[in-house]
Each structure stands twice: as structure tokens, then as C-alpha cells.
């Protein structure tokens, strides 16, 4: 079956620091890959996605590339802001999603 292993954190950074959250997966076939974000007090929102190998998803300065050879989909942002403080979930699937455990990120001013 499908599964996702995600760096659990918590991660604490200063503003303008570089952020990377590791995500690796095992999957049957080649499902789509996603990063979802949950801001404090809010619901899950799609941050970015990639639907096939070598695709790069990007949004709000975040990027992740679907790497088939390393079965990874690491999330990166070059310069984080306080407003990026949230819980980030890596997920994969086509008709149903399998999620990682979530990574709590806190950005300090």
C-alpha cells in the first residue's frame, strides 16, 4: 500500500531562514503528491501538488519536486516569514490520500 514518511519536527526558524521539510514515500504506481498546510485555527489547505515524475509544484514561494528515483517530495522555501508558521502535511494518492504525520513549523520574528 501507499505510505508517507515525513520529518516530524517541530521546526523553529528565524524570519528569512531557509526551510526544508523532508518527505519520502512508498507507493504502488505513480500517484500524485501533495503538500497541505494547516494554519492555526484553520482547516487543511492545498499548498502545492505534482502529478508526475520530475514535476515541480510551487506556490507562495514554496517548491517541491516529484523525485521518482529517490521517492521523495521535499518541501523548500528560501526565505520564511512569520505567517508561514503552520503544520505542513505531505500526502500522496489518486482517489484517496495517505498523509505523513505532519511537521509543525514556527517562524520567529
Partner 1 sequence: GAGVSQSPSNKVTEKGKDVELRCDPISGHTALYWYRQSLGQGLEFLIYFQGNSAPDKSGLPSDRFSAERTGGSVSTLTIQRTQQEDSAVYLCASKPGLSADTQYFGPGTRLTVL
* Distance between CA atoms of residues 108 and 93, nearest Å: 33
Cα separation, 88 vs 102, whole angstroms: 5
* Residue range at the interface with partner 1 (CB under 8 A); choices 19-27, 40-48, 59-67, 71-79: 40-48
Of the two residues 17 and 44, which places its CB atom closer to partner 1 in the complex? 44
- Confirm or reject binding of residue 44 to partner 1 (CB under 8 A): yes
Q: Is 82 strand, coil or helix?
A: helix
Q: Give the residue carrying C-alpha cell 515524475.
A: 53
- Binding region for partner 1 (CB under 8 A): 32, 34, 36, 42-46, 49, 51, 89, 91, 94-102
Amino acid at each position: 500500500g501507499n505510505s508517507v514518511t515525513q520529518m516530524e519536527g517541530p521546526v523553529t526558524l528565524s524570519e528569512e531562514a531557509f526551510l526544508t521539510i523532508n518527505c519520502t514515500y512508498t507507493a504502488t504506481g505513480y500517484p500524485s503528491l501533495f503538500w497541505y498546510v494547516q494554519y492555526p485555527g484553520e482547516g487543511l489547505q492545498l499548498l502545492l501538488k505534482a502529478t508526475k515524475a520530475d514535476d515541480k509544484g510551487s506556490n507562495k514561494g514554496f517548491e517541491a519536486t516529484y523525485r521518482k528515483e529517490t521517492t521523495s517530495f521535499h518541501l523548500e522555501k528560501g526565505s520564511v516569514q512569520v505567517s508561514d508558521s503552520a503544520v505542513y502535511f505531505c500526502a500522496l494518492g489518486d482517489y484517496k490520500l495517505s498523509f505523513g504525520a505532519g511537521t509543525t513549523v514556527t517562524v520567529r520574528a
